[in-house]
Amino acid sequence: AQTVTQSQPEMSVQEAETVTLSCTYDTSESDYYLFWYKQPPSRQMILVIRQEAYKQQNATENRFSVNFQKAAKSFSLKISDSQLGDAAMYFCAYRRNSGNTPLVFGKGTRLSVIA
Amino acid sequence: GAGVSQSPRYKVAKRGQDVALRCDPISGHVSLFWYQQALGQGPEFLTYFQNEAQLDKSGLPSDRFFAERPEGSVSTLKIQRTQQEDSAVYLCASSSRSATSAVGPSSYEQYFGPGTRLTVT
């Protein structure tokens, strides 16, 4: 079975600074996707960034970028120029690439942004 | 509507009561997922529909949990004889492609609703 581990229950960052959230996963599959989701207090799960396992290039979306290390099964999220609106729970998730398959989530990291 | 909606947003039930949670997916979305998110945890998969067919119910924790999507759009998650351990946020997600489609990864992106917070007292 696939598992996703987030070892940092809580993180904090000063506004405008950079923070990195860690994620490791375990799978025997070679073809899969990895995601970072943001969940604010409203509970709405919002997709932040997606990485296809077959792509060597790390995904970027504006201030958000990932460091994908396939051999190490590591998938960290870097948030640059942190903003107050970035404060939320962040979940790392995995999905096997076999049609429309369910997401497997980590336990999450609560990010606080300090003004 | 523009997004996935769920109702009610909050539900308090006495132990032993039955509850029904509703999910309205994005119009035209073929696939629908239910997840359970316990306090302080990540969401965990419960069940998956493609149109009206329930293709995977391996995550349902007990036979007290039942889900349906009779017309391939709105889905209802029913929990019978609720227990305290059922207290959680129940999230619904929909996506636009079926399991047999070969279009790129973004076609399988799951769009989440705001969830229903169930508290069993």
Using CB atoms, which residue from B95, B105, B114 is nearest to A43? B114
List CB contacts (< 8 A) between A95 and chain B: 108
DSSP A21-77: E--EEE-S-SSEEEEEEEE-TT---EEEEEEETT--SPPEETTEEEEEETTTTEEEE
List CB contacts (< 8 A) between B1 and chain A: none
Using CB atoms, which residue from A43, A52, A102 is nearest to B89? A43
> Kind of pairing, strands B116-120 and B88-95?
antiparallel
pLDDT value at position B102?
44
Task: Please indicate if any CB of chain A lies within 8 Å of the CB of B36.
Answer: no
Indicate yes or no: CB of A100 within 8 angstroms of CB of B31.
yes
Q: How confident is the model at residue A1 (pLDDT cuts 50, 70, 90)?
A: confident
pLDDT above 90 as % of chain B: 83
How far, in Å, are B18, B64, B94, B119 from residue B111 at the CA level?
27, 26, 5, 24
Asked if the bond preceding B8 is cis, omega within 30° of 0, the reply is yes
List CB contacts (< 8 A) between A91 and chain B: 42-43
Is the CA virtual torsion B65, B19, A46, B93 positive or negative? positive
Indicate yes or no: CB of B108 within 8 angstroms of CB of A95.
yes
Minimal Cα distance from B100: which residue of A? A99
Q: How confident is the model over B59-109, as pLDDT tens digits? A: 999 999 999 999 999 999 999 999 999 999 999 999 986 544 444 445 578
List CB contacts (< 8 A) between B50 and chain A: 100
List CB contacts (< 8 A) between B94 and chain A: none
Task: Please indicate if any CB of chain A lies within 8 Å of the CB of B95.
Answer: yes
B56, pLDDT greater than 50: yes
